[in-house]
Chains A and B, each alone.
Chain A
């Protein structure tokens, strides 16, 4: 049977493992919950159906098939989920109900079995949902639940067959232990192996026990103790009560029969005595009478109590008072004046061994007549009667009364059994050890019986009741009580546990969850558990504490913000905002800081009258460290630049310096340019910085293709490349940090280099300041509402003129006119030319330059001078359309004001103010040479 049990249990365990593995490792894991639950429910339902068949169940030997059907819905519900449990229960239960029609299952336990299987599904569903938080229980719980559910099953079998209580009880008695253990083990093993496979903890052992576990443990202990106490108490009580009842049943039967026999025996002797007395009074002698009536003795006793006559001569003269047995007659008849007295069968006064029954009637002339006989004599008279007395007597419903004689030969038993010994039916009476009325056990025809006897008038009356009958009610009570208690205590356990869980554990979890969120930094969480006063107060305390904390943090944050703001201001103010005024170039730079302090910076400074250094850099990281590193980098670079080093040398040395004590591992990208305005030669170096945008005059913007070097402070011993670029007037350069190109919109798209390039090329020729502003606006437009993460730093420079000592190159236009005028003034100042001549020179510059600007469409114009033979020789070169001013018609200067044409005066004035004028068109250039006398 044990093997059967294990086998049946293993089916469920196997199915559980299979489904569990499928669920975790295969496609089933992606199946929707509802479908999964239905499939699992159906499979376990089929398992319940299988258990119902003779194949899945096991025969306990007499045709009764036991099974672990209830285990299937329990496994489904507890391991996989409430819906699966309910579905499996319904399938198993309905099949069990219907199977009866096809003769596949017994009708006897039909309702109990089908209902309990359905219930098992619901029990599993409810427990999983409300007690185990929709998780799989531990295997011990599985075991317990399986067993308790089966107890319910057994109780239902009993209750649905109350009209056949004896058989129902027999059934329950046989099935209870194997089925309770079977189902319990099945569920327990299934949960256990699934836990093993899932590599979960098999028991709830942890460093610290959860409240719920401690609570469960103690609750379980209390409940088990209460269960054991009440069960044993009621068991003892029931047993005691049933003993009393059994004794009473036997005793009643015995005393009834006892009285009947005694009455009959007394009546028989009285009748005899009366007959003998009648004949004696008419003079018949005693001996004759004794013989006639078949008695042993007939005695006549006088008023004094002496035997005066007897059928036995030896008795004559015997004093009746001398023996205990005989004295009773004296007392009764002579002293108490009773008229008759029948004494029960007992040993005589003169001989302890001789048993005799006496009767006496008072004589009219004093004294009395006494008759005595022994059992053989009176049994002849009353045996027949006695048979009738006991024949239909029962003790309880299946017990009996038997009567036997002094030799233990049966006088009467259930059916006629006269003559047979009492021993032959299995009962032995030992008068020495067993007193009358005392209960003793005998085996009657293989059944255990409780027996008692009484002795009367030479008969032994034996009452017997089967132990089964005697104990039946006790056992039923004990079983039913125990079952009910198991159910009640299990329910109580679940209920109390559930209540505690709701009142304390769930609330604690809620509070813990809130605290966990707070710990993770979300101080806006409020804990709000108000189901009872204690938790409400705890919630309030927590909220208050968090509130205080929040306030402190806010204050601290405000202080830090203020300091950061201050740092930002310092950083900001370290950037130059006074842009150098030069006719050679126009420069503008701007840094728009993000919320946090960053490490961007730009810088520019005139190294001498004709050399400007300018750079843009970006320190890694943000915050105070980045800002401090930025200050350091800025100072180091400036320091080196002011020593007159080349850009590549500056970076090489700066890199070394910045690598020192750079424990924080910060680095900086930078682009540095040094421009000589006299020659237009720009030397530059790039340390890992974004390539600048460069626009050659007359062309479009493009990214500078020069190869970048390693970023600064990244690695010691780096050598930087030297780069040179010859600028021409009209060239433009735009430096920026990645705050521009990596500006991000709400869709995390980057502004990007291509967008920047397209944008700057879409612009008309603009001032550096406008360029910076327009780019910033475009970036803002792109970013939209997304916050600015990084500093945006940019520097733009328009190169306008090469300001040589004796020449100037410009882009002809209004913008460069000042540069040209300044050049003319400088020339006059340098040569110490008298004001009058200086004015001439100024006029000549103005006229020639105006012509180039207005008519030549040139993009480059150069003016140079030299002194030859005390004369100033000016050369104007432009790459515009060929035009020889010498061929221009002279205006008529004699006309009146109203007649004069406006225009044409310029070239005329040049001619008048110069000594000689020469024009050439060489190499696609107009070359105009003017000679002005200096004295």
Chain B
């Protein structure tokens, strides 16, 4: 998994590619811990993300909770596989997916 960051004042875009699983989730979590404080607008670009496992969901949920308190968060470029995971796990209801 690779993470590309685009930060513009209070808005940030994280381009995540590869697999977001048990092994890689802690990386993203660390990244978010650094970016989240004072952030108003967070975008995950998932165009090149292959799949997300429960460990990845946990990080996304954590980010969503944080952004609910200080601004807004959205996901872009989500593929079918990931969409299915979000669907199964009821994440579609809590996430903003464009």
Contact = CB atoms under 8 A, between A and B. Distances in A.
B50 A905 contact: no
A836 B79 CA distance: 10
Interface stretch (A60-68, A564-572, A840-848): A840-848
Contacts of B88: 893, 908-909, 912-913
A2 interface: no
The size bracket of the interface on A is 20 to 34
B51 to A, nearest CB: 4
Among B62, B94, B95, max chain A CB count under 10 A is at B94
Interface in A814-861: 814, 817-818, 821, 835-836, 839-840, 842-843, 846-847, 849-850, 853
A269 to B, nearest CB: 174
Contact of B93 (A839, A846, A847, A894): A894
A225 to B, nearest CB: 113
Given A839-B81, A843-B85, A909-B85, A814 B23 contact: yes
Nearest to B58: A902
A893 B64 CA distance: 15
Contacts of B53: 842-843, 846-847, 850, 906, 909
B21 A842 contact: yes
Among A843, A850, A902, A913, max chain B CB count under 10 A is at A843
A633 B62 CA distance: 61
Given A849-B22, A893-B89, A909-B89, A902 B61 contact: yes
Chain B interface, >50% SS class: helix
A846 B55 contact: yes
Interface string B35-58: 000000000000000111111011
Given A842-B21, A900-B61, A905-B54, A893 B80 contact: no
B74 interface: no
B65 interface: yes
Contact of B90 (A843, A846, A893, A898): A893
Nearest to B55: A850
B8 interface: no
Contacts of A898: 65, 68
Interface string B5-17: 0000000000000
A843 B89 contact: no
B93 A817 contact: no
A895 B90 CA distance: 8
Contacts of A902: 58, 61-62
A664 interface: no
B19 to A, nearest CB: 7
B36 to A, nearest CB: 15
Contact of A906 (B54, B61, B90): B54
A897 interface: yes
Nearest to A849: B22
Interface in A880-913: 891, 893-898, 900, 902-903, 905-906, 908-909, 912-913
B23 A842 contact: no
Nearest to A825: B19
Contacts of B94: 896-897, 900
Nearest to B60: A897
A905 B58 contact: yes
B65 A897 contact: yes
A817 B23 contact: yes
A853 B54 CA distance: 15
Nearest to A913: B88
B58 A836 contact: no
Among B54, B62, B94, max chain A CB count under 10 A is at B54
Nearest to A821: B23
A912 B54 CA distance: 12
B80 A847 contact: no
A891 B64 CA distance: 18
Contacts of A853: 22
Interface string B67-85: 0100000000000110011
A903 B58 CA distance: 7
A190 B37 CA distance: 112
B51 A842 contact: yes
Contacts of A908: 54, 88-89
A748 B2 CA distance: 55
B22 A846 contact: yes
Among B22, B57, B58, max chain A CB count under 10 A is at B22
A847 to B, nearest CB: 6
A817 B61 CA distance: 24
A849 B94 CA distance: 27
Interface in A353-380: none
Interface string A12-27: 0000000000000000
Contact of A897 (B19, B22, B61): B61
Contact of B22 (A817, A835, A900): A817
A891 B62 CA distance: 16
Nearest to B87: A912
B51 A843 contact: yes
A591 B22 CA distance: 38
Contacts of B52: 843
B23 A836 contact: no
B70 to A, nearest CB: 13
Contacts of A847: 22, 53-54
A912 B87 CA distance: 10
A216 B70 CA distance: 118
B80 to A, nearest CB: 6
Among A817, A821, A897, A906, max chain B CB count under 10 A is at A897
A513 to B, nearest CB: 78
Nearest to A835: B81
A895 B65 CA distance: 12
Contact of A840 (B62, B68, B81): B81
A895 B62 CA distance: 14
B19 A842 contact: yes
Contacts of A843: 21, 51-53, 85
A908 B86 CA distance: 12
Nearest to B92: A893
Nearest to B73: A897
A835 B50 CA distance: 9
A853 B21 CA distance: 14
Given A897-B94, A902-B62, A909 B54 contact: yes
A842 B85 CA distance: 12
Contacts of B58: 902-903, 905
A703 to B, nearest CB: 37
Contacts of A849: 22
A842 B23 CA distance: 12
B24 to A, nearest CB: 10
A428 to B, nearest CB: 154
Contacts of A817: 22-23
A839 B90 contact: no
Given A850-B22, A893-B90, A839 B51 contact: yes
A839 B81 CA distance: 7
Given A897-B64, A897-B65, A912-B88, A905 B57 contact: yes
Among A891, A900, A902, A913, max chain B CB count under 10 A is at A900
B81 A897 contact: no
A70 to B, nearest CB: 108
B22 A839 contact: no
Contacts of B85: 843, 909
B18 to A, nearest CB: 11
A847 B21 CA distance: 8
Contacts of A818: 23
6 contacts: A821-B23, A840-B81, A850-B55, A891-B89, A893-B88, A900-B94
Given A836-B81, A905-B54, A906-B55, 9 more contacts: A814-B23, A839-B50, A850-B21, A894-B90, A895-B90, A897-B68, A902-B61, A906-B54, A913-B88
Which 10 pairs, one residue from A and one from B, show the smallest C-beta to C-beta distance? Answer: A893-B90, A897-B94, A906-B54, A839-B81, A850-B22, A905-B54, A839-B51, A846-B53, A846-B21, A912-B88
Interface of B: 19, 21-23, 50-55, 57-58, 61-62, 64-65, 68, 80-81, 84-85, 88-91, 93-95
